[in-house]
């Protein structure tokens, strides 16, 4: 699916981010090749059953943190405006968090708790 928006008189197409592309960004964060920073006053410990938005090298990532501590990627936006948006109707394996290895998932959770 392509989205179109007008930039002056130029019509630009924007392809949505895939779960795999978003997963690669999260993997880069877990491996330390991208710098994660907090946006706003919310912190990981205070966001149970809520959302937390963080940044990484111009990317904006929103996580939904469940009451039991599990989390999923709610949305991710690239610096160019491409967007991944979570849809609960999507089939299994389309949440970028599910595509991470166990170590990457644990490391990402640790980094989010520290940010």
The per-residue pLDDT for range 4-60, each reduced to its tens digit, is: 455 555 555 578 899 899 999 999 999 999 999 988 777 666 666 678 899 999 999
Q: Predicted confidence band at 91 (pLDDT cuts at 50, 70, 90)?
A: low
Asked if residue 41 lies in contact with residue 53, where contact means CB atoms within 8 angstroms, the answer is no
Type and span of the H or E element at 7:
strand 3-7
Q: In sequence order, which residues have a C-beta less than 8 Å from that of residue 112 and are 6 or more positions away?
A: 36, 44, 52, 54, 63, 71
Distance CA 9, CA 35 (A): 36
Q: How many CB atoms lie under 10 A from the CB of residue 115?
A: 17
């Amino acid at each position: 699916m392509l989205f179109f928006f007008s930039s002056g008189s130029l019509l630009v197409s924007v392809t949505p981010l895939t779960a795999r592309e978003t997963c690669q960004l999260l993997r880069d964060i877990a491996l330390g090749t991208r710098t994660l920073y907090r946006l706003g006053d919310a912190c990981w410990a205070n966001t149970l059953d809520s959302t937390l938005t963080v940044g990484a090298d111009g990317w904006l990532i929103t996580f939904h943190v469940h009451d039991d501590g599990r989390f999923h990627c709610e949305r991710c936006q690239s610096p160019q405006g491409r967007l991944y948006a979570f849809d609960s109707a999507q089939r299994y394996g389309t949440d970028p968090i599910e595509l991470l290895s166990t170590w990457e998932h644990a490391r990402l959770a640790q980094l989010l708790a520290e940010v």
